[in-house]
Amino acid sequence: MNKIAFITGATAGIGEACAKKLAKIGFDLIISGRRKENLEKLKQELIANYHVKVLAIELDVRIQKEVESKINSLPEEWTKIDLLLNNAGLAVGVSPVQEGMIDDWERMIDTNLKGLLYVTRTISPLMIARKTGQIINISSIAGKEVYPGGNVYCATKHAVDAITKGMRIDLLPHNIKVSSIAPGMVETEFSLVRFKGDAEKAEQVYNGFTPLYAEDIAETVEFIATRPAHVNINDILIMPANQASARDVNRV
């Protein structure tokens, strides 16, 4: 049996690219997300192109009971999870805090922070039982810096950074490696979600410079996942060459 990777938010963007990359290097995959059609399409593509085993699970990481019951009822051969990629996440809105939409805040906190915790809480005991495993959390430049209108999104990603460090300490005696990746701007559906479907605004985010692509982050995941057993990559901050900080982008 190949190694098994569990990916949250595999229906688009970074998660989807990571699924393809990990399949290419021989992982069997549990792909999850809310959009059933996307999951099914990706599953067929992975099987056809990479000849790996794929299990697709419709999963909303915000629903703790669903996370627990779906993971705890995985078929036995799928419980030996070697790699967890906590990727599901989103930004919603760019309002200053005094005008912030409570529902936007809750979606970000429930997904980026609580969802990551629910999934980790359920999968880490499976790894502990086997005394092996690796967890990679997708954080962000927004977990290192704060920018106007980023308030709650930045808070959730700063929290991901703190949780990553805490997980690394707690899981140390159990031979589980914990890493995070903090990307700058990556062209995915991210900005479309942040601007609530406004394609024009979303496009403007990536105008005048070459952003990162999901494939760049997948290569970073591959690098972390393929280090020798005695090496852990704690954290990688990866930026487009034309972006120096969350706020400084060199546009032509």
Binding site for ligand 8X3 (CB under 6 A): 91, 140-142, 185, 246
Q: Per rule CB under 6 A, is residue 45 in the interface with ligand NDP?
A: no
Q: Per rule CB under 6 A, is residue 88 in the interface with ligand NDP?
A: yes
Q: Is 206 one of the annotated active-site residues of the chain?
A: no
Closest C-alpha among 26, 28, 34 to residue 5: 28
Half-sphere exposure in the Cβ direction for 111 (13 Å, CA)? 22
Among 31, 57, 84, 138, the residue binding ligand NDP under the rule CB under 6 A is 138
Q: Kindly state the smallest distance separating residue 183's Cβ from ligand NDP, in Å.
A: 4
Which of 81, 185 has the CB closer to ligand 8X3?
185
CB 134 within 8 Å of CB 84: yes
Q: Kindly state the smallest distance separating residue 28's Cβ from ligand NDP, in Å.
A: 19
Q: What number of chain residues touch ligand NDP (CB under 6 A)?
A: 31
Q: Identify the active-site residue in 118, 153, 206, 213.
A: 153
Q: What residue 67 binds from ligand 8X3, ligand NDP, none (CB within 5 to 8 A, per partner kind)?
A: none
The catalytic residues are: 153
Q: Where does this chain bind ligand NDP (CB under 6 A)?
A: 8-15, 33-35, 38, 59-62, 87-90, 111, 115, 138, 140, 183, 185-186, 188-190, 193
